[in-house]
């Protein structure tokens, strides 16, 4: 699992983190097209295939369809607290892919820094100077507290991550 790679507490190489982030965006896009929100994206739920491809697993707490009825009166949705979006932690209403994209941002942050994001707006680049400014901007946009300020679709985040990976100058300038 990705968690096993991260247990050392060291950042992954930037290109490796980018590839995993791209695979996670593809997964979020694919499941959201089927009206599913994962709600528990975290390193232990990301398996790495022999070819290096990242696979999203464990749909045990996924929200299927526009489920708004809750089985409990408690606030918030199920999921791992350190990887929940702000709205997942505080509301019981319908979530969309922006919540999963927040979690992808958290996983990217951890891959790039070797640390959990503590919601203090410390950028990955601040902790790891090897992180390109454009990738730093992608991660911080994914970690916006307000869902309307985050990436609205996995496809949009995937596009930006691909521009960073492929070193498209104009794409990186647009991101920054």
Q: Residues near 133 by Cβ (< 8 Å), separated by ≥ 6?
A: 125, 172, 176
Distance (Å, rounded) from C-alpha 12 to C-alpha 98? 25
Distance (Å, rounded) from C-alpha 148 to C-alpha 27? 21
40 is known as an active-site residue: yes
Distance (Å, rounded) from C-alpha 118 to C-alpha 106? 10
The catalytic residue among 40, 100, 160, 163 is: 40
Name residue, tokens 């696979």: 55
Closest alpha carbon to 43 in 93, 136, 113: 113
Q: Which residues are catalytic?
A: 40
């Amino acid at each position: 699992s990705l968690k096993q790679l991260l247990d050392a507490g060291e950042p992954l190489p930037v290109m490796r983190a980018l590839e995993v982030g791209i695979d996670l965006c593809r997964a979020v896009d694919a499941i959201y097209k089927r009206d599913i929100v994962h709600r528990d994206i975290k390193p232990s739920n990301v398996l790495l295939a022999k070819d290096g491809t990242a696979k999203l697993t464990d749909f045990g707490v996924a929200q299927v369809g526009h489920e708004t009825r809750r089985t409990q009166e408690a606030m918030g949705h199920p999921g791992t607290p350190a990887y929940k979006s702000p709205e997942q932690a505080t509301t019981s209403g319908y979530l969309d892919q922006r919540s999963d994209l927040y979690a992808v941002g958290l996983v990217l942050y951890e891959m790039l820094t070797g640390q959990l994001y503590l919601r203090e707006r410390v950028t990955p680049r601040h902790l790891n100077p090897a992180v390109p400014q454009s990738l730093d901007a992608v991660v911080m946009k994914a970690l916006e507290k307000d869902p309307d300020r985050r990436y609205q679709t996995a496809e949009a985040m995937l596009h930006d991550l691909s521009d960073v990976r492929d070193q498209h100058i104009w794409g990186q300038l647009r991101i920054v």
